[in-house]
């Protein structure tokens, strides 16, 4: 049985694509056959972050409109054996995403034996975003610790509860996970940023992880490597913890408290 | 490429116009589907002729315990027609009953949640709200409408308070968080919310609003002009509160002494005309003390 997981946020620039890439990679590293789909039709960038932009021939819209088969469009990831990328179209507009078309693609992925399908949602609450969450079994709500991002996440949670197939069928609802990204414990300490507890208090969704703000994410993105592959970085460790918690393992939150630099460090620099 | 001429005549008035509306519909609870039993029960209640005046009716199937294998829907509808009812469809039946009714041309109609019709010994006129529970016509939202439509259950509640107590038109209870962009309207009754109302969410009731969690969004009680309505919350952090159309916003956040406190909002006893806003009354927001 394929589990469909949407990575969504409402707001742009909070780390949805970074999270989709790392989350999908993390599941694949654990041995699960995983596909990650870019729903941002017209503004694709998952392929850039996955470092496969030069191998894109066919895309999601081609598959939906029957111009290519799923096998032709799926791109095998260069880092992980079990990971495949289904890129978005840069040239077509988002109306090309039909509900029937998306459902068929997801069904076909199930027939191909995929265990997890990660849907990378575009920002906003329009067609692409709604299509990405329509068939979701679980949702990762990516939120930055600032009020506008929290507000938009709240909005998208409402849409998830209204428009997803699970909500409409009235059965078991979509399982929601809160992921706080670009978190800076120091700025929280200084009162410049909401704490992850504040965010959770407003959104009231179980927290699956906190990803620290880091320069290394930008470097990794520019190189086309998902952040989870950056050896010995806090970000990679935090994403690996997210995978562990997602799979039901016990992993305490890390990188969320700020330790004041000691006297020695302050005198001589870090 | 040839252009197709737009042949639509240039009318000033739209030939087809859409408007939302609510119709009074009788909910008829059936405890049997045996035409014979129903015929005698009907005769006892309504005599032999047309008791009703062509009223619309929906058959409530929720109280049925047993029913025959072959349900004679046509006979049942015929029976009700002789009593002057026009049956639109069925409601609240299980899937088998609903399907059987659908095959007989009786569609399943959604009776909105939270206003369950109490089983009554005699047929009783009960208004059925429109199925779009979460939506409220824009015209009702900010302007109190004292002359509510004849179908409005709120009207009945005002006229006969005792009757309203006995046959509550329906308190709507919400136990999930309300999120930015979501709106809930308790038509003709109270609204009880057991989870947070987040910024950007809007909760509206014709009666009172109770929020046993943080109220961070907008709350409008007495939406049809009930000046006695109140808003009660255990954690006050609202964006806007309104009673019977008298509203207050909190641009710079709620006053410090009220912030995150249990609070009661109501209209002041003596109406005061505000010169600056022209509002004829004033909202009182007080810390709620429970002894």
- ipTM (interface pTM): 0.70
Which residues of chain B lie closer than 8 angstroms to A162, CB-CB?
182
Instruction: Please report the DSSP string for A29-73 in residue order.
Output: HTT--EEEEE--TTS--HHHHTT-GGG--S-HHHHHTTSS-HHHH
**pLDDT surpassing 80 at residue A81:** yes
Read off the pLDDT of each residue in B20-36 and give the average, rounded to a whole number.
82
**pLDDT surpassing 60 at residue B124:** no
**pLDDT surpassing 80 at residue B156:** no
* Prediction pTM value: 0.64
In the structure encoding, which two tokens stand for residue A167, read together? 């909500």
Which residues of chain B lie closer than 8 angstroms to A155, CB-CB?
179-181, 200
Query: What confidence category does residue B148 fall into, taking pLDDT thresholds of 50, 70 and 90?
Result: very low
Check: CB of residue A181 under 8 Å from CB of residue A144.
yes
CA distances from B7 to B2, B4, B89 (A): 15, 9, 39
> What's the pLDDT at B268?
83
**B58: CB partners within 8 A, 6+ apart:** B25, B26, B27, B28, B87, B88, B89, B90, B91, B109, B111, B128
Q: Which CATH architecture is the domain B25-128 placed in?
A: 2-Layer Sandwich (3.30)
**pLDDT surpassing 70 at residue B275:** no
> What's the pLDDT at A64?
92
> What's the pLDDT at B276?
54
Residue of A11, A129, A141, A155 to mutate, interface with B, max B Cβ within 10 Å:
A155
Check: CB of residue A39 under 8 Å from CB of residue A152.
no
Check: CB of residue B83 under 8 Å from CB of residue B46.
yes
Question: What percentage of residues in chain A have a pLDDT greater than 70?
Answer: 97
Per-residue pLDDT tens digits for A158-193: 999 999 999 988 889 999 999 999 999 999 999 999
**pLDDT surpassing 80 at residue A63:** yes
Per-residue pLDDT tens digits for B190-248: 999 999 999 989 999 999 999 999 999 999 999 988 989 999 999 999 999 999 988 89
- Is B181 in contact with A151 (Cβ distance < 8 A)? no
Read off the pLDDT of each residue in B11-30 and give the average, rounded to a whole number.
76
Per-residue pLDDT tens digits for A51-61: 998 888 889 99
- Is A204 in contact with B199 (Cβ distance < 8 A)? no
- Is A158 in contact with B180 (Cβ distance < 8 A)? yes
What are the structural domain ranges in chain B?
A: 25-128, 167-287
In the structure encoding, which two tokens stand for residue A61, read together? 């819209």
Cβ of residue A28 closer than 8 Å to a chain B Cβ: no
Shortest alpha-carbon distance between residue B182 and chain A (Å): 7
In sequence order, what are the beta bridge partners of B186?
A: B205
Query: What confidence category does residue B137 fall into, taking pLDDT thresholds of 50, 70 and 90?
Result: very low
Per-residue pLDDT tens digits for B39-59: 888 888 888 777 888 888 888
**CATH number of the B167-287 domain:** 2.160.20.70
Q: Which of A77, A27, A82 has its CA nearest to residue A49?
A: A77
Shortest alpha-carbon distance between residue B193 and chain A (Å): 15
Residue of A129, A139, A158, A163 to mutate, interface with B, max B Cβ within 10 Å:
A158
> What's the pLDDT at A245?
97
């Amino acid at each position: 049985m394929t589990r469909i997981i949407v990575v969504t946020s409402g707001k742009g620039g909070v780390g949805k694509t970074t999270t989709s890439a790392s989350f999908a990679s993390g599941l694949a590293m654990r041995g699960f056959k995983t596909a990650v789909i870019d729903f941002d039709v017209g503004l694709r960038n998952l392929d850039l972050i996955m470092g496969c932009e030069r191998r894109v021939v066919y895309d999601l819209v081609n598959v939906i409109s029957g111009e290519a088969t799923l096998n032709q469009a799926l791109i095998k990831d260069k880092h992980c054996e079990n990971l495949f990328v289904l890129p978005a179209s840069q040239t077509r507009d988002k109306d090309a995403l039909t509900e029937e078309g998306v459902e068929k693609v997801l069904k076909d992925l199930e027939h191909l034996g995929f265990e997890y399908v990660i849907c990378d949602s575009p920002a906003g609450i329009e067609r692409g975003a709604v299509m990405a969450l329509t068939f979701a079994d679980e949702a990762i709500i990516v939120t930055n610790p600032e009020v506008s991002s929290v507000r938009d996440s709240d909005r998208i949670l409402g849409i998830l509860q209204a428009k997803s197939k699970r909500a409409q069928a009235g059965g078991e609802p979509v399982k929601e996970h809160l992921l706080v990204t670009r978190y800076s414990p120091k700025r929280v300490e200084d009162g410049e940023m909401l704490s992850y507890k504040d965010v959770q208090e407003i959104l009231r969704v179980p927290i699956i992880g906190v990803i620290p703000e880091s320069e290394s994410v930008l470097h990794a993105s520019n190189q086309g490597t998902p952040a989870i592959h950056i050896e010995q970085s806090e970000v990679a460790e935090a994403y690996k913890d997210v995978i562990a918690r997602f799979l039901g393992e016990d992993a305490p939150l890390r990188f969320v408290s700020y330790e004041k630099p000691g006297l020695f460090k302050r005198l001589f620099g870090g | 490429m040839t252009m197709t001429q737009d042949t639509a005549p240039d009318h000033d008035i739209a030939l087809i116009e859409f408007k939302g509306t609510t119709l009074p519909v009788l909910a008829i609870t059936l405890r049997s589907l045996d035409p014979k039993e129903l015929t005698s029960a009907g005769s006892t209640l309504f005599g032999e002729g047309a008791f009703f005046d062509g009223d619309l009716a929906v058959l409530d199937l929720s109280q049925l315990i047993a029913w025959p294998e072959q349900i004679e829907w046509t006979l049942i509808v015929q029976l009700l027609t002789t009593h002057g009812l026009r049956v639109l469809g069925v409601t609240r039946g299980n899937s088998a009953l609903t399907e059987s009714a659908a095959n007989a041309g009786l569609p399943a109609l959604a009776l909105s949640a939270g206003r369950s019709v109490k089983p009554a010994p005699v047929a009783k006129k009960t208004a059925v709200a429109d199925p779009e529970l979460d939506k409220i016509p824009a015209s009702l939202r900010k302007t109190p409408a004292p002359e509510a439509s004849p179908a409005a259950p709120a009207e009945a509640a005002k006229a006969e308070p005792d009757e309203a107590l006995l046959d509550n038109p329906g308190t709507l209870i919400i136990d999930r968080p309300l999120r930015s962009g979501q709106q809930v309207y308790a038509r003709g009754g109270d609204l009880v919310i057991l989870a947070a109302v987040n910024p950007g969410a809007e909760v509206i009731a014709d009666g009172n609003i109770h929020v046993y969690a943080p109220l961070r969004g907008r709350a409008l009680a007495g939406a049809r002009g009930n000046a006695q309505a109140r808003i009660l919350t255990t954690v006050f952090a609202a964006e806007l509160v309104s009673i019977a159309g008298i509203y207050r916003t909190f641009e710079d956040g709620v006053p410090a002494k009220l912030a995150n406190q249990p609070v009661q909002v109501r209209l002041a006893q003596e109406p005061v005309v505000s010169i600056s806003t022209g509002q004829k009354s004033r909202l009182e927001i007080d810390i709620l003390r429970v002894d």
